[in-house]
A and B are shown apart, each in its own frame.
Chain A
Amino acid sequence: MTTSRPVAACAAVLALICLQYAPAGAQAPKYTITVMPPGGPAPRLPDGHPDLSGHWLPNSAGQGVSGRDGVDPAARRQFDPKVTPEERPAFQPWAEAKIKAMTPVELELSKSSVNCMPRGLPAIWLQNPYSTVIVHTPAMMAQLYEVLNNWRLVYTDGRPVPKDPEPWVHGTSTTHWERDTLVVNSSGFDERTYVMPTGWFHSDAMKVTERYTRPSKNYLIVEIIVDDPKVLTHPWKSAPRRWTLGNGEVYEFYCTNNHELDELGKLKEQESYGK
């Protein structure tokens, strides 16, 4: 970590607040759902660190935006690519070829969502359209994912990583604070998950860094770094993605009636006959 990283992080957060949040008076009146204001200062834990607890939605509106009319495009997104562009992952040639060899149906069938499989880390922060509840104490951060009623515990009490960690979809994590940023380093992943629903798979060597900041009461910023030398030529870093504070209404999502595999399977058969 260089000394310029905290400064750059602060600048990025400020840029997000300044450039993506516009006062209600500046919005076009046609929008009924607009960017949520930052709110007051972030709450703090008893130990003085930011409290990341909250019901977080993957957009800038602080409420559901999908399937609704009158939504400001700025409220739909988690970041503005013009402000914080996100680089394309640099795949190893063999990995790029593997992804490109997939047909659209094969790609679809590879998705965690289509298979009702857990997204896993880091996908849960990159390809999750539903909300997440965080319960944060000085010793632990519990992440309760609405999708698939899934959950994850991240211990922040300094306990060591097990000698032989099991391959888990969320890996095994250690944490530390860099000023007001909670940094979570994870490794030991189940290889069946995908980083992105674009065919971006990962290896058993993948390491993931999550950087959590709460610049204000209503905003949670999550940055992801994926280091996977077997699949990527160099680590990939996400844009700082904004999650906004919801109203606490969380819905059940058990995957009990999945038709996708059958329907896509039939389509794949038809494509095979057509080759």
Chain B
Amino acid sequence: MKTLRIAGLAAVTMGVFLTAVPSFAHHSFAAEFDAAKCQEWTGTLTKVEWTNPHGFFYVDIKDANGKVQNWSFQTYALITLRRAGTSLQLFKDNIGKDVWVRGCLAKNGKQNYAAAGSLKFASDGVVRQMGQLQD
């Protein structure tokens, strides 16, 4: 806990100084997600929630035992996705198709939930930024 608090104070101090660029996310990635627990997944896109302050997309992913688990991935706010060229229609067009995701797990241990950093639809092979890239 002490380490966490020191890290927090350092973050606060740095945050006060490093204000040249606005925080481009809705909130701090580091507070909610673990940059030390980032990984890649492949699976089938099942659903998208086109909402604010974050969007979410859902992917059926096979676990180590071959059992399919439905994961949810948080994205940037929709404004950011749209200005970067990612639309709701793009997600809709890829429902039921293969995707690759890189992201980081939630610190609170919520199962099958992560912040998406990058997403690639198998249909076009383009890697798109979905959130803060931590590694």
Question: How many chain A residues have a CB neighbour from B under 8 Å?
Answer: 60
Min distance, Cβ B26 to any Cβ of chain A, angstroms: 5
Say yes or no: is B64 at the interface (Cβ < 8 Å to chain A): no
Say yes or no: is A66 at the interface (Cβ < 8 Å to chain B): yes
A59 vs B20: C-alpha distance in the bound complex, in angstroms? Answer: 10
* A128 closest partner in B (C-beta): B22
* B5 closest partner in A (C-beta): A103
Known pairs A67-B81, A199-B12; A257 contacts B30 (CB<8 A): no
Known pairs A104-B11, A129-B25; A79 contacts B53 (CB<8 A): no
A102 vs B4: C-alpha distance in the bound complex, in angstroms? Answer: 11
Say yes or no: is A253 at the interface (Cβ < 8 Å to chain B): yes
Known pairs A89-B16, A200-B16; A76 contacts B21 (CB<8 A): yes
Cross-chain pair count, CB within 8 angstroms: 152
Say yes or no: is A267 at the interface (Cβ < 8 Å to chain B): yes
A50-65, CB < 8 A from B: 58-59, 63-65
Say yes or no: is B27 at the interface (Cβ < 8 Å to chain A): yes
Judge whether A66 and B24 touch: CB under 8 Å.
Answer: yes
A255 vs B31: C-alpha distance in the bound complex, in angstroms? Answer: 20
A191-218, CB < 8 A from B: 196-200
Say yes or no: is A127 at the interface (Cβ < 8 Å to chain B): yes
Judge whether A105 and B19 touch: CB under 8 Å.
Answer: no
Which stretch in A6-14, A35-43, A258-266 binds the other chain? Answer: A258-266
Question: How many chain B residues have a CB neighbour from A under 8 Å?
Answer: 51
Min distance, Cβ A65 to any Cβ of chain B, angstroms: 8
**Interface of A: prevailing SS:** loop
A104 vs B13: C-alpha distance in the bound complex, in angstroms? Answer: 12
Known pairs A64-B83, A251-B82; A259 contacts B19 (CB<8 A): no
A146 partner residues in chain B, CB cutoff 8 A: 79
Judge whether A266 and B21 touch: CB under 8 Å.
Answer: no
Known pairs A256-B52, A260-B53, A275-B1; A64 contacts B84 (CB<8 A): yes
A105 vs B107: C-alpha distance in the bound complex, in angstroms? Answer: 11
Say yes or no: is A116 at the interface (Cβ < 8 Å to chain B): yes
B76-135, CB < 8 A from A: 76-86, 106-110, 128-131
A100 partner residues in chain B, CB cutoff 8 A: 9, 12
A114 partner residues in chain B, CB cutoff 8 A: 26-27
Judge whether A255 and B22 touch: CB under 8 Å.
Answer: no
Say yes or no: is B54 at the interface (Cβ < 8 Å to chain A): yes
Q: What are 30 A-to-B residue pairs whose CB atoms are below 8 Å?
A: A64-B84, A66-B84, A67-B76, A67-B83, A67-B129, A68-B83, A68-B85, A68-B129, A77-B21, A78-B21, A81-B20, A86-B20, A100-B12, A102-B12, A108-B27, A108-B32, A116-B53, A127-B23, A130-B77, A130-B79, A196-B16, A253-B52, A253-B78, A256-B52, A258-B53, A260-B26, A260-B53, A264-B108, A270-B109, A271-B4
Which B residues contact A (CB, under 8 angstroms)?
A: 1, 4-5, 7-9, 11-12, 15-17, 19-28, 30-32, 49, 51-54, 56, 74, 76-86, 106-110, 128-131
Additional 9 contacts, C-beta under 8 A, given A104-B7, A267-B31 = A86-B19, A88-B17, A116-B53, A196-B15, A196-B16, A197-B15, A253-B77, A256-B52, A257-B56
